[in-house]
Amino acid sequence: MRRLVNVKYDSFDSALRNAPFMVEAQALSVETVDSKVLNLAREDIVWHSVRELITDVPDKEMLGLNIVEFAGDDAELIDSQVTTLCQRLDELIAHGEGGVIGWQLCNDLAGIERIYAMRKKAVGLLGNAKGAAKPIPFAEDTCVPPEHLADYIVEFRALLDSHGLSYGMFGHVDAGVLHVRPALDMCDPQQEILMKQISDEVVALTGEIWWPAVGGTRKRIPRRVQPGVLR
């Protein structure tokens, strides 16, 4: 049995900070996407397949989304967990807390698969950016303890913004893992230097580089944070 709760937020930061609560609700997985990824999906034909499953909230702008999945063989337990979560979300909405602006439940397998397909397609669209700068996987997967992910992302985004880079973010917030591909023009030697600089600065934020995903563009990362300094 599978259930998916799509939780809508007024900001990506709100989605990240609300994620530990989803994990405490015994969710199997919690995936998050930012407004850039969402907007790419909206502009693509793939959105037509999910627009009834992730509807807009009147007078609100959805800038973050948590895709929360519950699954298991005990249908009664799953329904209880989902009900408890949705009741808590209603309380947050009623009190204007947590940045939650709405939620929708998807309880059929076909709908669940369409939502995940949308997320996958939107992430792929990041690579179709116009211009010479293209998303580069050199800090593709970074990991910190889930309870520190939101603060880490604030610092990560500030770092990328300070260099004026375009990027989209999504990830597995239940595991504290973030996917991001900053757009760089690799035909520009200065941009290649910037890639090394940024990857060093990301490591300096503390955490771990998830090594299976970084083997492509940057062959060697000279510094790796020691396990003892994880936040």
How far is Cα 4 from Cα 108, in angstroms, rounded to an integer? 9
At residue 207, the pLDDT reads 56
The count of other CB atoms within 10 Å of the CB of residue 168 is 23
Report which secondary-structure segment, H or E, holds 171: strand 169-172
Structure tokens at 133: 């700068």
pLDDT tens for each residue of 153-196: 999 999 999 999 988 888 898 888 888 888 999 899 999 899 98
Domains annotated on the chain, with CATH: 2-126 (3.30.70.2190), 130-214 (3.30.70)
Q: Which of 17-31, 125-139, 200-214 has maximum average pLDDT?
A: 17-31
Amino acid at 212: P
Amino acid at 85: L
Report which secondary-structure segment, H or E, holds 104: strand 100-106
Residue 52 has pLDDT above 80, yes or no: yes
Amino acid at 46: V
pLDDT tens for each residue of 35-48: 999 998 999 999 99
Measure the N-to-C terminal CA separation of the chain; round to a whole number of Å.
36
Residue 228 has pLDDT above 50, yes or no: no
Alpha-carbon Rg for the chain in angstroms: 18
pLDDT tens for each residue of 156-166: 999 999 999 98
